[in-house]
């Protein structure tokens, strides 16, 4: 059983990295093999909280996709983008800065890919109007989406998975990760100001073109916009309070999604058809494959190796947090961060058992969220999300931006993306390291 599960896991991982076969096909076929070989029983795969599919993650993703699908029909993102370009009075660097902020904030509360999908066409349009090269703007937006998505529980799938496994709530992410992201974003923009501030210039008559654009034309359905904004605000409020009322985040998101579906008047067939089912089934398949390697003890072996390297103590896991941060970042730059976090989550849970001397399955929320353990979870989240900036294939948003840019006649080469992405990844992960060290180990501010 051990080798069966291990081989299925390794082959699936290799195929996902190679991108020779669609990752959803690989994950689902791998899951079917795990069940067929009885590494994991179907009952365990569908019902066991520790080994099976994490339905909290699945329903949170589906619900947020429904809310986003309805919101994108309103044109609000395009409205805000053109409004910002006018607020910047057509100044190229100010536009870059404001677009980065919109992307980061949008990605913190919506899906990264949707955010860039909505903003890239407007960016290309504005760049065309200003007769400037759009590539620095587009790469900046991809990077901003990955940085912004790190700030909240719902911003990036790795955070959703970590929150579900570690029992963390929305406010935990706001309190611990949002300040880190604000600091990182400020430093990044300062660096960008030095690099691009004096390089981006356009003639005054081109700036005037921007001022003549009519942003109001972007709002397609003002009533739907009002309804969507009200539901989104209430849902975010629900996320903030879900810990207090003892609701899972998926329950809050499902309430928001179904309410908006009910009051929007949109056809459920088309809204549900636009849910990214391949991503959802990728998660389901992945959870089952990972469940298999947890059950046979491979994760336990990996956990022992990690303990040997980092020597975590019940009251101090500094080395583990630092190793986790950089290891996650480097891995996420080259492989999809979703399977990476799906593997790391049970590994960390197993380490909790070993470090605190608990029998298997006996770890409680107090152990998992022990103050020595919390920086490790945050290191995993920061590393996995920010690492995605390290290469054009490190995050879905990067792939989308590169694809759309090429379609518009502005090819972004692998090396060209690396020139922007890699230094930003190194800078942001380095700042994360300082943040974790100063906040949790120097100031002891848990």
Partner 1 sequence: MDVSKCMWTKLVLAKPDCDYKSLLCKIADPTPRQAYIVDENYKLLGIVSAMDLLKEIIPSYMNADLARSLTDEADFLQKQVEKVKDKCARDIMVTKFAYLHPYHQLLEADALIAERGFNTLPVLDEQGKLLGEITRRNILLQLVDSCTAFNLNDKELVDLSLL
Which residue, 38 or 89, has its beta carbon nearer to partner 1?
Answer: 89
Which residue, 48 or 221, has its beta carbon nearer to partner 1?
Answer: 221
- What is the Cα–Cα distance from 99 to 93, expressed in whole angstroms? 10
Q: Considering the complex, what minimum distance in angstroms separates the CB of residue 213 from partner 1?
A: 5
Q: Considering the complex, what minimum distance in angstroms separates the CB of residue 394 from partner 1?
A: 24
Q: Considering the complex, what minimum distance in angstroms separates the CB of residue 126 from partner 1?
A: 10
Which residue, 125 or 187, has its beta carbon nearer to partner 1?
Answer: 125
- What is the Cα–Cα distance from 106 to 169, expressed in whole angstroms? 20
Which residue, 78 or 318, has its beta carbon nearer to partner 1?
Answer: 78
- Other beta carbons less than 10 A from residue 203's beta carbon: 11
Q: Considering the complex, what minimum distance in angstroms separates the CB of residue 409 from partner 1?
A: 8
Q: Considering the complex, what minimum distance in angstroms separates the CB of residue 68 from partner 1?
A: 18
Q: Considering the complex, what minimum distance in angstroms separates the CB of residue 212 from partner 1?
A: 5
End-to-end CA distance of the chain: 41
Phi, psi for 199 (deg, rounded to 5): -90, -25
The single-letter DSSP state of residue 216 is: G
Q: Considering the complex, what minimum distance in angstroms separates the CB of residue 249 from partner 1?
A: 33
Which residue, 117 or 174, has its beta carbon nearer to partner 1?
Answer: 117
- Other beta carbons less than 10 A from residue 212's beta carbon: 8
Which residue, 354 or 410, has its beta carbon nearer to partner 1?
Answer: 410
Q: Which of 58, 82, 154, 232 binds partner 1 (CB under 8 A)?
A: 82
Site for partner 1 in 370-429 (CB under 8 A): 404, 407-409
Site for partner 1 in 185-244 (CB under 8 A): 209, 212-215, 217-218, 220
Which residue, 314 or 403, has its beta carbon nearer to partner 1?
Answer: 403
Which residue, 117 or 272, has its beta carbon nearer to partner 1?
Answer: 117
Q: Is 249:153 a contact under the CB 8 Å cutoff?
A: yes
Mention every residue, 6+ apart, whose C-beta is less than 8 A from residue 182: 151
Q: Which of 1, 42, 128, 267 binds partner 1 (CB under 8 A)?
A: 128
Q: Which of 15, 31, 59, 75 binds partner 1 (CB under 8 A)?
A: 75
Which residue, 121 or 243, has its beta carbon nearer to partner 1?
Answer: 121
Mention every residue, 6+ apart, whose C-beta is less than 8 A from residue 430: none
Q: Considering the complex, what minimum distance in angstroms separates the CB of residue 156 from partner 1?
A: 25
Site for partner 1 in 281-340 (CB under 8 A): none
# chain residues binding partner 1, by CB under 8 A:
21
The three-state secondary structure class of 3 is helix
Site for partner 1 in 14-73 (CB under 8 A): none
Q: Considering the complex, what minimum distance in angstroms separates the CB of residue 198 from partner 1?
A: 27
Q: Considering the complex, what minimum distance in angstroms separates the CB of residue 326 from partner 1?
A: 37
Q: Which of 97, 251, 256, 109 is nearest to 185 (CA)?
A: 97
Q: Is 365:379 a contact under the CB 8 Å cutoff?
A: no
In angstroms, what is the C-alpha Rg of the chain?
22
- What is the Cα–Cα distance from 291 to 278, expressed in whole angstroms? 20
The three-state secondary structure class of 200 is coil
Burial 349-380 (b: 16+ CB within 10 A, else e): bbbbbebbeeeeeebeeebbbbebbbbbbbbb
Q: Which of 24, 78, 107, 332 binds partner 1 (CB under 8 A)?
A: 78
Site for partner 1 in 97-126 (CB under 8 A): 120-122, 124-125
Helix (H) or strand (E) holding 46: helix 42-47
Q: Is 127:329 a contact under the CB 8 Å cutoff?
A: no
Site for partner 1 in 131-190 (CB under 8 A): none
Which residue, 202 or 344, has its beta carbon nearer to partner 1?
Answer: 202
H helical segments located in 110-221: 112-130, 135-149, 157-166, 170-196, 204-211
Interacting residue ranges for partner 1, rule: CB under 8 A: 75, 78, 82, 120-122, 124-125, 128, 209, 212-215, 217-218, 220, 404, 407-409
């Amino acid at each position: 059983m051990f080798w069966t599960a291990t081989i299925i896991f390794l082959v699936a991982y290799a195929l996902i990295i190679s991108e020779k076969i669609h990752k959803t096909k690989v994950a689902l076929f791998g899951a079917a093999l795990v069940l067929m070989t009885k590494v994991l029983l179907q009952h365990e795969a569908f019902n066991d909280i520790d080994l099976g599919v994490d339905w909290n993650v699945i329903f949170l993703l589906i619900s947020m996709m429904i809310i986003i699908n309805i919101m994108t029909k309103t044109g609000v993102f395009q409205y805000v983008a053109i409004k910002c370009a006018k607020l910047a009075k057509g100044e190229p660097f100010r536009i870059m800065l404001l677009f980065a902020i919109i992307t980061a904030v949008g990605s913190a509360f919506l899906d990264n890919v949707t955010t860039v999908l909505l903003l890239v066409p407007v960016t290309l349009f504005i760049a065309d109007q200003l007769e400037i090269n759009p590539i620095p703007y587009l790469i900046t937006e991809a990077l901003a989406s990955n940085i912004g998505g790190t700030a909240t529980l719902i911003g990036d799938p790795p955070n959703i998975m970590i929150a579900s496994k570690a029992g963390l709530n929305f406010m935990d992410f706001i309190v611990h990760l949002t300040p880190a992201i604000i600091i990182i974003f400020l430093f990044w923009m300062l660096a960008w100001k030095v690099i691009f501030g004096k390089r981006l210039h356009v003639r005054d008559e081109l700036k005037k073109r921007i001022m003549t654009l009519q942003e109001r034309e972007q709002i397609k359905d003002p009533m739907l916009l009002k309804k969507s904004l009200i539901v989104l605000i209430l849902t975010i409020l629900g996320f903030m309070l879900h810990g207090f009322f003892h609701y899972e985040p998926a329950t809050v998101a499902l309430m928001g999604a179904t309410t908006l579906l009910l009051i929007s008047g949109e056809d459920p067939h088309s809204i549900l058809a636009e849910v990214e089912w391949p991503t959802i089934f990728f998660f389901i398949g992945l959870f089952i494959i990972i469940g298999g390697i947890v059950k046979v003890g491979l994760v336990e072996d990996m956990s022992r190796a990690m303990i040997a390297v980092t020597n975590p103590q019940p009251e101090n896991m500094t080395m583990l947090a630092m190793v986790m941060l950089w290891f996650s970042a480097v891995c996420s730059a080259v492989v999809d961060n979703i399977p990476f976090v799906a593997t790391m989550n049970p590994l960390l849970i197993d380490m909790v058992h070993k470090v605190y001397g608990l029998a298997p399955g006996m770890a409680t929320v107090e152990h998992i969220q022990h103050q020595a353990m919390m920086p490790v979870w945050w290191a995993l989240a920061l590393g996995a999300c920010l690492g995605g900036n390290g290469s054009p294939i490190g995050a879905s948003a990067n792939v989308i931006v590169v694809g759309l840019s090429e379609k518009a006649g502005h090819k972004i080469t692998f090396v060209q993306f690396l020139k922007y992405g890699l230094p930003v990844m190194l800078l942001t992960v380095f700042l994360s390291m300082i943040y974790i060290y100063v906040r949790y180990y120097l100031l002891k501010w848990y």
